[in-house]
Amino acid sequence: MIKFFLMVNKQGQTRLSRYYEHVEINKRTMLEAEVIKNCLSRSKDECSFIEYKDFKLVYRQYAALFIVVGIDQTENEMAVYELIHNFVEVLDKYFSRVSELDVSFSVSEIHCY
C-alpha cells in the first residue's frame, strides 16, 4: 500500500505531497526532511529503493525533480517504480515538458476544483 507521494526539487523543497494515511502536520515536516535527505544524498549509481523505518522508499529523478513514494513492506518496488514513470509520462504529455513550474501550476489548478 502507498503511504505517501512526494515531489521534491534538488534543493530539497517539497513541491507536492500527498498522504494516504493520517500523519500529523509536525510529523510530516520531520518525515519529509528525513526522506528528502536520504534520497538526495544518494548517488545515481545506487539503487532507487531504500529501507526506511517501517516502510520502503522508492524514488526516481527527472531533471531537477525527485519523485518519492513511501510504501509498506508488502508492496512491489518495481511496480511502484513503473508507476512513477507512468505518472511522469502523463505529466509530460499534458505539459509537453514537465518542469518544477508546471508541477506548481498543476497543483494549484487541482486544488481549485
> What is the rounded average pLDDT for all residues in the chain?
85
Domain count, the chain: 1
**Is residue 36 one of the residues assigned to a domain?**
yes
| Residue entry with cell 505531497 | 17
Amino acid at 51: E
**Is the model's pTM score more than 0.85?**
no
Sequential DSSP letters for 2-14: EEEEEEEETTS-E
CATH number of domain containing 14 = 3.30.450.60
**Is residue 105 one of the residues assigned to a domain?**
no
Taking the C-alpha atoms of residue 11 and residue 34, their distance in angstroms, rounded to an integer, is: 14
14-19 vs 55-62, strand pairing mode: unpaired
Q: What is the per-residue pLDDT across 77-108, written as a single tens digit (0 to 9) for each?
A: 999 999 999 988 888 787 776 565 555 555 44
DSSP H stretches of helix in 6-76: 25-40
Could you tell me the residue range of the domain that residue 42 belongs to? 2-96
Say if CB 14 and CB 7 are below 8 A apart.
Answer: yes
Instruction: Pick out the chain residues at pLDDT < 50.
Output: 107-113
